[in-house]
Amino acid sequence: MTPDSVMIMGREAIEVTVMMAAPLLGVALVVGLLVSIFQAATQINEQTLSFIPKLLGILATLVLAGPWMLTTMTDYLRQVLVNIPNLVT
């Protein structure tokens, strides 16, 4: 296992991690921003108000993007497991 192969595997792992987290974090960011604008406009200063909309947004994102996320993760895991014999030598 060469340092180059370790770096390639690490880079691919980070890429998959970012691809999995980006939709969920993006939805949480947008929903949080919209709730913050609503709170500023109505002067409601309740800290827990943004929790339920964020939770519902992330749940909806998981329902919509879940199959893609699962396919991406299984493809990456399959690639890593298939390449183990090549990496050991």
> What's the number of CA atoms in the CB half-sphere (13 Å) around residue 68?
12
Residue 74 is predicted with a pLDDT of 95
Domain ranges of the chain: 3-88
Record the pTM: 0.80
Question: Quick one: tokens of 13?
Answer: 């792992």
Angle at 18 between CA 17 and CA 22, to 5 degrees: 125
Q: In this predicted model, which residue has the larger pLDDT, 2 or 53?
A: 53
pLDDT (mean) for 51-75: 95
pLDDT at 1 over 80: no
